[in-house]
Structure 1
């Protein structure tokens, strides 16, 4: 094959860069499902933390390569996008935990749902980012709509607070139960099973609660993508930076879920911090125009974003730690 084919530009970058990135993603997914989790078993917290560190390290290493090969500005934009998208992905963990709890998904089958959920996310984000890039390229004023939407979303998050979604009242669950055959119990790791129809007695296909959980997780990501896609386009309009930072942030979500689900209450102030970040990212487009800047400085954007999120994490850990008196009381009880 002619090497010129790989050097041809697609969405502003040589085709070989896109193919290399896709190859990395396929290799990671294959390694995750085919090597690490061939058997159905719960993922321990320690294993989850190790895998999460690996995925975060790979995402940062890719950002280092972007910085080295494309320059400091694309590198800082990638890192800012990666940090914001990773935090938005963490927020998604809260909803995933509620979905798994509602459908009583056994721990050993949760990783299967998350794997196929993330695979769907990769495709879904590619479509949404492609549409967003086309809109921004054709109509520059769309960025201002994205920015205003982010500001309103951040304000809404601050006002509503930590009100959890009501899974039981979700109309999609009622629709699926009315329109399709659904089993009341799980059948191992299967998404579909064949059972006698209640009406005819003939064997027919039923979807299991595991598949319903997968559908709700995909819908939840679609809702989260409405926030995350405008957020990354408010940072940079380069489709390569937008998509790669998005996907690297999402890839480690499956591993990170099992660690965060155990300590989810320790990060109760992360959501307000994320709301402030969304307001900041939306506002900086208007601030740059008011100050006559061509664009908001990427280094300043990265520094402010990281500082706000770090403050949210530290404040959460400080406010939710066990009081010293309680810890001492516990030690005394153990001693007796």
Structure 2
């Protein structure tokens, strides 16, 4: 247990350090993040995730303090790793375990990163609906990420506890993901809108807090005539946190389809979340071009759900984490390539619209 605390504590310290550097060095003043800056930030976070993959590949056994074959066999069984161990070759078995652990992290990271793209669609709608100035996006997303890290921690380890206590809950997760994927496909062409005045979070906050009627720079709270208020910018932050909570209900069970090790689920989730903010700035102006991505994500969720429902049969057929990663990458690649090859046609204006335009002119 001590090794897990050290490994996990070191990871949390690293995340705190990186977030502090991000807030201190890259956000000394409020400004609209440029495409170049977003590209640099994205490449840094992706590089760190890849570096963590190689760390697990080399030292992954230290996460659970594995020093004997008995301990290795116990951890493998506890977390349902789909690997074959050789009791006569401890070091060979240890290498297989590390390779599988690193691959589970990478697969979970790709899943979470892909599902986060759908979150970007909603974030754009939120900022647009509330008329937030682009120079404040970074501040809202930064604190949104901090809140998301805390919520994911609670969700993941609660989910791991439930799985350990009630194995059948995996089937519930699987059925839920299949249903979510089907509904995402069915509703893929529906226009999403956000009503600032009637949003559930706005109504809830207005009931318990005093809301200032206008933005006050980058402030979340202000004090006027001795009375404290929350600003519209803080409402936006609350809505983004609420949105992440909804997305976590899909993404966390999806990663449990890849690995039952809660630490790996957490690591892959956090790296993807930390990269989400920079990916937002990278894709915010071109996200509409990937119109088939919703279809790809729907197929991805259905695949993961089916995998959870049929994990026993798939294991007996020799289906491994490598196969899952290949299928996931294929689904995402096809959806992105299809979006670029077959761009969405712009709607032609109707005769009535053209006539009205002439009258206006």
Whether the TM-score (by the shorter chain) exceeds 0.5 is yes
Runs (4 or more) in structure 1 with deviation over 4 Å come to none
Q: Does 1:104 align with 2:94?
A: no
Match of 1:304 among 327, 339, 348: 327
Deviations 1:58-81 (A, max 9, x none): 112211221233311111111110
**2:187 paired residue among 157, 160, 183:** 160
1:124-203 equivalences under 5 Å are 124-168=151-195, 169-196=198-225, 203=226
Greater CA drift, 220-229 or 258-267: 258-267
SS at the partner of 1:249? helix
Distance change >3 Å, CA 322–CA 69, structure 1 → 2: farther
Distance in 2 between the 1:30 and 1:37 partners? 10
Change (3 A) 1:216 1:96: same
Tell me how far apart the structure 1 counterparts of residues 103 and 315 of structure 2 sit (CA, whole Å): 21
- Indicate which of 224, 230, 238 corresponds to 1:215: 238
Q: TM-score if structure 2 supplies the norm length?
A: 0.81
Q: Which residue of 1 aligns with 2:343?
A: 320
* Counterpart-to-counterpart distance in 2, 1:268 and 1:186: 33
Residue range with higher mean Cα deviation, 311-320 or 281-290: 281-290
**CA 1:321–1:141 in 2, change beyond 3 Å: closer, same or farther?**
closer
Is the deviation greater in 39-48 or in 283-292? Answer: 283-292
Paired residues of 2:289 and 2:340 also in contact (CA < 8 A): yes
Aligned residue pairs, count: 307
Match of 1:48 in 2: 38
| Correspondence for 1:29 | 19
Of 77, 91, 94, 2:118 maps to: 91
Residue deviations 1:104-151 (CA, integer Å, cap 9, x gap): 111111111000000000000000001001001111111111111111
Q: SS at 1:163's partner residue?
A: coil
Contact 1:285 1:296 in 2 (8 A): no
Compared with structure 1, are the counterparts of its residues 322 and 43 closer, same or farther at alpha carbon in structure 2 (3 Å cutoff)?
A: farther
Change (3 A) 1:69 1:167: same
User: Aligned equivalents of 1:107 and 1:131: distance in 2?
Assistant: 36
Return the TM-score normalized by structure 1. 0.87
Shift in alpha-carbon separation, 1:195–1:86, aligned structure 2, 3 A: same
Unaligned runs of 5+ in 2: 61-97, 347-361
Provide the secondary structure at the position in 1 that maps to 2:316: coil
1:288–1:295 contact (8 Å) kept in structure 2: no
Name the CA distance, whole Å, in 2 between partners of 1:174 and 1:127.
26
Consecutive unaligned residues in structure 1, runs of 5 or more: 1-6, 197-202, 324-336
Deviates more, 1:236-245 or 1:62-71: 62-71
| Cα RMSD, aligned residues only | 1.9
Greater shift in the superposed pair: 31-40 or 66-75: 66-75
Deviations along 1:167-202, whole A, 9 cap, x unmatched? Answer: 214222233334432222211110011224xxxxxx
Q: What are the Cα deviations for residues 263-295 of structure 1, in whole angstroms up to 9, with x where unaligned?
A: 121112111101111111111233342356287
1:72-99 deviations in Å (ceiling 9; x for gaps): 1111111110001001111111111111
Alpha-carbon distance in structure 1 between the residues aligned to 2:316 and 2:118: 32
Moved more, 108-117 or 163-172: 163-172
Where do residues 107-118 of structure 1 align in structure 2 (5 Å cutoff)? 107-118=134-145
Counterpart Cα distance in 2 of 1:321 and 1:151: 27
The Cα of 1:240 is off from its aligned counterpart by 1.1
CA separation of 1:102/1:295 partners in 2, compared to 1, >3 Å: closer, same or farther? farther
Conserved? CA contact 2:104–2:264, under 8 Å: yes
2:8 is equivalent to residue 8 of structure 1? no
Change (3 A) 1:56 1:321: farther
**Could you give the per-residue CA deviations for residues 43-64 of structure 1, whole angstroms, max 9, x where no partner exists?**
1011101111111111122112
